[in-house]
Each structure stands twice: as C-alpha cells, then as structure tokens.
Chains A and B, each alone.
Chain A
Amino acid sequence: MSPTILCDDLTVTLPGESGPVEVLAGVRLAVAKAEFVSVLGTSGSGKTTLLRALGGLLPVTSGTVHCDSTLVTGPPEGVVTVFQDYAHSLLPWRSVARNVALGIESRLDRSERDERVDEALTMVGLSDRAGEYPWRLSGGMQQRVQIARALAMRPRVLLMDEPFGALDAMTKASLQDQLQQVQELTGTTIVFVTHDVEEAVYLSDRVVVLSGSPASIGLSLDVALPRPRHQITTKERADYLELRHEVYEALGHRVPIAERSHG
C-alpha cells in the first residue's frame, strides 16, 4: 500500500536576511495511513518548514511531496494544518460553532453542516460552548476549537505545528489524551511537530528527528508502546524511558560520564 504522505528528496530554500538559506535538504519521509508521526528537532531546525511543505503552504525548491499519490502544489483536499497560534487562526468575530463551520459551510447543506459541527465539537468536548466567541475561552479551549474546525473537514491527514506549545502542562496533557482518542476514533493520519520529547514519544507511532543544517532526517525511531497510552503508566515503562533517552541523544543531549550506569 502506498504511503499517505510521501516526501522524496525534499529541498526547501527560504529567503533570509543575507541571501537565500537552505533549510531542508534531501528529506525523505513516508507516513503510512493512520500513522502518528512526530517531527522533533532543535529550535530553528526546519520542523515548521517541513510541515508547511507537506501542507502545500510553501513551494518546494526541489524534490516532491505526494499526498495519496497526488503531487502537492497547494493545500491538498483532505489535509488540514493546525497552527500553534490559535488566537490568530480563529476568526474572532465568529462564534465557536461558526468558526468550526468555516471550512464546510459552503459545501454542505445546513442540517449536514450543523451535524458535522456538533460532532466535531463533541469530539473535543466543547459542545456546550458552541455559541461563545473564541476569545472568551481559555487558550486550551481555543486550540480545541481550531482542532474541531479541522476535524469538521473530516480530514485524512492532520498536520499539527506545535499545537500544544503555548499551553500549560496540565492542559497539554489533557489535550494529548484527547488527540489520542480522536485519532483512535477517526483513523486520521497525523504529522505532529513539537519540541517536547516526552510529548513526541508519548503520542507517536514513530518519532523522526531533524538534524544538520540544512536539515535532513537524522533519526527515525519506531515507538512500539502499547495503546491506549496513559499519562502515568506509559511514562513509567522502561521502554518509554529508553525511547526518550534515545531521542534526547539524537537531539544532541549527552548523559554526563559520571552518571552512566551502563553502556
């Protein structure tokens, strides 16, 4: 079966202050249907650039991005990007429900639209806030509205750019678990950019680490932790800790020699 997302020999050059900067070079990545892949990398390593290229928001310099065997040249059908800055992504003059309806309102008739909006809001646990303006909600709730807006499109692929990066630890944990449930329910393929190692290991089927400058994929690590995962028990497992250790090292962190107990 061909992968849902196939990114072949991708190079992206962006204009910089002193001439063009090659951000990504020779990135190869295949994401299977319903797979949850996290992209990690140090700050400025090109994680967001990669995600924007996958989402058709950025022209590639060379190489190709395919989504379900169709070449990506603009935002593809069935692929929705969720941004970190929810406050600028939502339309402040629309109620929560009308924000969620934004992508589907001109394609569906009224009753079907209302049904989808309701379904999406229920999935993120916000059906009782449908009539509220988004800026009256907390940051975590606003991000859930943005996720609901994406889910209302019934996407095959969700591209998430540090979606929980601006949220506090408690909110983050609950949204992580909610996202797991949503994926289990919908079977959506998810590419998840984050700088949080624990989050990446906890959520993913596979973690890839961008390294080098220009960046390419330095490490691709399968995460075979059993699902459903749990914030306490999963994070206490020996294999979780081992994976976490491996990812930290791939990001350039070293264990001080004095503290090494083995290998």
Chain B
Amino acid sequence: MARRVNLLGGAVFVAVLLVWELLVRTGILSFSYLPPPSDVAGGLGQLIGNGELGSALGHTLGAALAGWAIAGVLGVAAGSVLGLVRPVWTYSMASLEALRALPIVAFVPVAVLLYGFSVQTEIMVGCYAALWPILLNTISGMRTEARMVESGAVLRLSRAAVLWKIRLPAATPSIVVGLRLGLSISLVLTLVAEMVGNPAGLGFLLVEKGQALQPGQMFAAVFVVGVSGIVLNGLVLGAARLAFRGQLAASGEVA
C-alpha cells in the first residue's frame, strides 16, 4: 500500500492558517477574543509547558476509552444475541427503538445526578453513547447472507463452527464500523460530561480557559480535542486492519 503525501491538501491548510493570521492581525476580523493561529500555538506551548494539557488529555482519553471499551464488550455481546436469536430481537426491538430516539445529551444531567461529579459519570455517559452504534452495527452485521450459512451446512460444519468461522467474520466489518463510530461519540460525550459534570479533563480545561479569558489556550484545547479524535479513529482502524485483514479487504476497507 503506497501512501502519498497529500501536498496540495497540506498547502491549502497552511494557506488557510496564514489568511486567518492576516485577517486577525490587520483587524479585518475583529472579535474581542479571536486569537490568531500564532497565539493558539503559543497557548498550546503554555499548556504543554505547565503540564495542564498532559494531565487533562490523559484524564479525558482514559475516561473515553474506558467507557468505549465497556460499550464494546456489552454492545458486541448483546448485539450478537439480538442479531442471532430471533425472539430476543422481537421482544426487545420496541424498547431499543424508544431508547435510541432519546438524544444522548439528555442523559448527561441524569448521570451527574446518579454518579455525582466523578469520573464514573464521564465513563457512564461515554459508555452509553458508544453502546448504540456498536450494538446496532453488530446486530446488522449478524444478519449473515443466508447462502453463506447454507454453504457451512453443506460442508457439515457444526453450529459453533458456523458461528465462529462464518457469522462472526462476516459481521466483523460492521462491528469495526460500530467501534469507530462508538469511539468518536464516546469522546464527544465524555467532553460534554466534563463541561457540565465532572470538572476535569479537556472538556473542563476548555470551559475554564474560556472563562479565564485565555482564548489562545482555549483554542489550543479545541485543537487538541480534534487531533485526539482523528488519532483515536486512526488507531482503531489500524488495529482492525492488522487483526482482520481478510474481512476488511473483502469489504473494501483496505486498498
């Protein structure tokens, strides 16, 4: 897989930063607290230097990943049962549809009430948010092509072998999609929980710097949030490609 550096894309990005810098410096864009990119870079340097960023980032990623991991185990297990056992699906579908329709953000104050201003609140919210995409993608992934299952029967595979060798691998691309979506939403909701609930991590850092009228540092925190989302998604995809090369190649995920 030859990877080419996207020079044009990078050039556009740098150009946008330059224009932003110029517009702010020349006063054409005149918000009271809009920092130019150079101030944001300075803010980032300060946050790294005083150690605030490291501990906040560690806290947030830890909570988001913990919630996501719990959701991964629960979602794949429950999704497999729901996808494979027809009666369970029939009885649970109505409840699932109703719960799914509720905006996840509405659960943040509920979690704060239940778990207080603690890291548990963040993990619970992240877990709940990540559970949905993982669960639903696992369910749909488990609806294996009938002919594929029949091929297993014709070759006299046991039921366990059909599950292990045909159904689960066939569901893998869907499950990986669910896990990726779940991780990004877990990160988002963990940040929300930090803004309105537990005063810690990147979410709180962002709010705190805003209220302290430190726009450079605040924008730096926003930037770090964005980059960590991209990095996490890349890590999950990379790990999945290593572990399930064939499945993802077949679904066109690997070029």
Contact = CB atoms under 8 A, between A and B. Distances in A.
Interface of A: 55, 57, 74-75, 77, 80-81, 83, 85, 88-95, 102-103, 106, 133, 135, 149, 153
Contacts of A149: 155
Interface stretch (B65-73, B118-126, B246-254): B246-254
24 contacts: A55-B154, A75-B154, A75-B156, A80-B154, A80-B155, A88-B145, A88-B148, A89-B148, A89-B150, A92-B246, A92-B250, A93-B169, A93-B170, A93-B247, A102-B152, A102-B155, A102-B157, A102-B165, A103-B155, A106-B157, A106-B161, A133-B249, A133-B250, A149-B155
Contacts of B151: 83, 89-91, 102
In the complex, the 4 A-B pairs of residues with the closest C-beta atoms, listed nearest first: A103-B155, A92-B250, A93-B246, A93-B247
Q: Secondary structure of the A side of the interface? A: loop
Interface in B220-254: 244, 246-247, 249-251
A57 B150 contact: yes
B154 A95 contact: no
Contact of A89 (B147, B157, B165): B147
Contacts, number: 61
A75 B155 CA distance: 8
B198 interface: no
A135 B249 CA distance: 10
Contacts of B147: 83, 85, 88-89
Interface of B: 145, 147-148, 150-157, 161, 165-166, 169-170, 172, 244, 246-247, 249-251
Nearest to A57: B150
A69 B155 CA distance: 20
A115 B251 CA distance: 30
Contacts of B170: 91, 93
A106 B150 CA distance: 18
A82 to B, nearest CB: 8
Nearest to B172: A93
